[in-house]
Structure 1
Amino acid sequence: MDAELPLGLLLSLLALLIIFSGFFSGSETGMMSINRYRLNHKAKQGDRAARRISKLLKRPDRLLGVILIGNNFVNNLAAALATVIAIHFLGESLGPFVATLILTITVLIFAEVTPKTLAALHPERFANPASFALAPLLKLLYPLVWLVNLVSNFLLKLLGVRPDQHRQDNLTSEELRSVVNEAGNLIPSRHQAMLLSIMDLEKITVDDIMIPRQEVVGLDLEQDMDCLLKQLRHCQHTRLPVYKNDINNVVGILHLRGALRLISAPEPTKGMLVQETREPYFIPESTPLQTQLLNFQKEKRRIGIVVDEYGDVQGLVTLEDILEEIVGEFTTDVPNNQDDIQPQQDGSWLIDASATVREVNKQLDWELPTHGPKTLNGLILEYLESIPDGNICVSFGPYRIETLEVKENLIKAVRCWEITAPRRRLPRPRKKWGATD
């Protein structure tokens, strides 16, 4: 009986050591796998466990040191006890071998794979309770942990690694995009689209969304005053560019408030019209939308004249145009109440060739090339390298574009459709790529 009691205690102690080994193994995986952003959010909200875990993770070398010291201590002690128990039953010749084999399998299953897998799947469930034990244990074993870290950090420095330079948990724009896409039901789809659109602002320039110069509505000072007043009375826009004879000679921007004062004047003159204008604000065509949005805010502007590298006016862009890139269209364009993209009964689409390629891709979920010309007219003309004499049909991968009207050196209208083929991302069109009918 006296001989059996110590043996029972040894077996109980061995089982307890295996449990401790599983605790340290799971704590290591749980601490290192926990979501740092969710942890920081909870810590800022006052969660004590989150604050305690964040404090431990500020020095991962110390955290890993105390975990590994504890894990190695219990594993070595468990190996010694298992050897004693095995020798008791099998003798000194066979006992150590059997103890090593059985303990290796036991530790691997119950103290390594199982707790680490569980901690990887549910890191917070392991990290929260583990922090209660690891925090005081770190203080208790701090001298030993400090010594171990001192030697370890010295070896890391010999390998060219600086342990004092902590890795920053910063996300790149593409990583943040993946986080938003993988958020699932945590973020409503509408909000996901808005977040992704905000991140796309740095890839889109003002010439991608500007109103081209041939579509700009403005006041020409070369016209007589009666025509200008009539145009002001029937204008559908809040702000109008004022120019002399040509849009390149912009004098200023007229707000509708100034136009009302002008119309109500007894004898309005062109000089009074110019006085009501504000100095024009010019924007390089290659300015990213993200930068331009901040520039609009800084300059207290809502409209800008887009110019190319030679200073020629290419069009204009408004603050509303940039905001619509984020939230989608939220205003009604009265002058353009007819859609540029109209579905047909045969499954094709009747499209105004002045429509931008980005607009077509967005509405039809297509993948026409966007890193070249901005409009369908420009895309077709760049591919053909000439202005067609009559209607033709061109192929861009799975997409077919048939011209319906060619007038004034421009393609006015086209009919587009997608052939039944697997979707694939298109390279930039080249001269020999595609087919012409």
Structure 2
Amino acid sequence: MATGLWLIALAILILIVMSGFFSGSETALTAASRARMHQKEKNGEPGAQAVNQLLQIKERMIGSLLLGNNLVNILASALATSLFINLFGQTGVVYATLVMTLVVLVFAEVLPKTWAISDPDSFALRVGPYVNVITKVFGPAMAAVEWIVTRIIAMLGIEAKDNHAQSGQDELRGAVDLLHMEGSVVKADKDRFGGLLDLAELDVSDVMVHRTGVKSINLDDGPESIVEQVLKSQYTRIPLWQGEQDNFIGILHAKDVLRALSEVKGEAKDLDIVAVASEPWYVPDTTSLKAQLNAFLKRKSHFALVVDEYGEVMGLVTLEDIIEEIVGDIADEHDIDVKGVRKEPDGSVLVDGSVPIRDLNRALDWELPDEEATTIAGLVIHEARQIPEPGQGFTFYNFRFRVLRKERNRITSLRITPVQPVQ
């Protein structure tokens, strides 16, 4: 009799250990990183292949582990009830319930799950091969369970949705934001990741230099004046126009001008400027930055003029403009340092109206919307539903915007002050 009771106690202990295995495996395998497991499999790390196979059939895997966990827990509870009844009579049912609840909670649930979540990848690698076998053994039973569940859901009129439809870009963006909040990714790297992911969502009109800011040269100025302007310019490529300022006939490259100047022995008056200029390349303003980047790489070009649906030139876009959306502003020894954003001691910020909203958000870690406008002046006009006069102020998105200067219909300078939201 005593031997039988000891065997029952041993069986209960084994079942508790098995329950802990099922609980810990479920936690580790659901928390394991698919990206890291994929890389580990490529590196030939043992167990990674089994884990990746399980992650591809996650529902079946979780169902098999739950089935195994319920089987061992119910069997352990039944054996414990039998054991305590033999020891204490009918009151043993109460004792068995209390003891098994505590034991299962601590040793079969909390302990293994806490252990697994502390290092899910390592835990998953160790248990993956065994869980793979368990999933295959319980596969037919789980297929039947899934069939029954599907029919019940259909009878209740509930539509089963595929949760795997989430965009890969959204998943990457969320992971980077989370790692930044945890301190694993610095803000600069987070901004670069975000800029890279935004390429498919932004158009060239969002990053182009507007035609009001385009530096161009009039062909009628004459070769000598044109050469002088090219040499004094901070830009390597300069649009060339004739007649009307929107009538671009070519793009001058400083190297081409210098090369042609060398061929005529430095006599600028003998240059054929039109022959030196390259043909302008026009792209629609609705072209995505991702598509334009690929086009730049394919054509081995760095410069394009942007036109709207009517064929009117809106501005220009360069390869550097697109790269800056990823890495931030790129400054070299020839760039002129224009202070478009200046912080004031009182906490306000002086901003040029032409500063892009995305650049302002990136510089100051703000979250002003950029869906309806590209520049900060455009955002104020859109929200105010008017062209404000100097001195007017507006409050929206928890910021106070005050117009400082205006030229014709363009806001050229604003003061922006963060406003604490009312609790």
TM-score range, shorter chain: 0.7 to 0.9
Mapping 1:308-319, distance limit 5 Å: 308-319=308-319
2:47 matches 1:49:
yes
The one of 253, 256, 259 equivalent to 1:255 is 253
Q: Are residues 225 and 124 of structure 1, via their aligned partners in 2, closer, same or farther at CA, if it must alter by over 3 Å?
A: closer
1:393 aligned partner, one-letter code: Q
In structure 1, what is the Cα distance between the partners aligned to 2:12 and 2:258?
A: 92
Q: What SS is found at the alignment partner of 1:291? A: helix
Structure 1, residues 236-271: CA drift from partner, whole Å, max 9, x if none? 321111221223211121222221133234366798
C-alpha displacement of 1:47: 0.8
Q: CA deviation at 1:273?
A: 2.0
Higher alpha-carbon deviation: 123-132 or 287-296: 123-132
TM-score (norm 1): 0.79
- In the TM superposition, what whole-angstrom CA distance separates every residue of 1:125-155 from its partner, at most 9, and x where no partner exists? 543333354455567xx3xx34413422432
The CA distance in 2 between the partners of 1:334 and 1:202, in whole Å, is: 30
Cα distance, 1:186–1:213 mapped onto 2, change above 3 Å: same
What is the CA distance between 1:185 and its match in structure 2? 4.2
User: Equivalents in 2 of 1:384, 1:166: separation in Å?
Assistant: 42
Give the structure 2 partner of residue 427 of structure 1: none
Sort the Cα spacing of 1:98 and 1:365 in 2 relative to 1 into closer, same or farther, 3 A.
Answer: closer
What CA distance in whole angstroms lies between the structure 2 residues aligned with 1:306 and 1:269? 32
AA partner of residue 396 (structure 1): T
SS in 1 for 2:112: helix
Native 8 Å contact 1:65 1:148 kept in 2:
no
- Following superposition, the deviation at residue 304 of structure 1 comes to 0.7
Indicate if the aligned counterparts of 1:402 and 1:416 stay in contact, CA closer than 8 A. yes
Amino acid at match of 1:44: K
1:19-418 alignment runs, 5 A limit: 19-60=17-58, 63-64=61-62, 67-68=65-66, 70-91=68-89, 93-96=90-93, 98-100=95-97, 102-124=99-121, 126-135=123-132, 142=137, 145-159=138-152, 168=164, 171-183=167-179, 184-266=182-264, 272-332=272-332, 334=334, 336-343=336-343, 348-366=348-366, 370-379=370-379, 383=384, 385-386=386-387, 388=389, 391-397=390-396, 398-404=399-405, 406-407=406-407, 409-411=408-410, 413-418=412-417
Contact 1:262 1:273 in 2 (8 A): no
Distance 1:298 1:156, change over 3 A: farther
Mean Cα deviation higher: 219-228 or 130-139: 130-139
Alignment: residue pair count: 409
TM-score (norm 2): 0.81
Give distance in 1, aligned partners of 2:237 and 2:169.
35
Contact 1:28–1:64 at 8 Å: present in 2 too? yes
2:158 is aligned to none
* Offset, 1:107: 2.9
Query: 1:117–1:280: structure 2 CA closer, same or farther, 3 Å change rule?
Result: same
Question: Per the alignment, in what secondary structure is the counterpart of residue 202 of structure 1?
Answer: coil
Unaligned segments of structure 2, at least 5 residues? 155-160
SS at match of 2:330: coil
- Rounded to whole Å, the distance in 2 between the matches of 1:72 and 1:387 is 69
Gaps of 5+ in 1: 425-437
- 1:432 maps to what in 2? none
- Counterpart secondary structure, 1:414: strand
AA aligned opposite 1:284 = P
1:428 maps to none
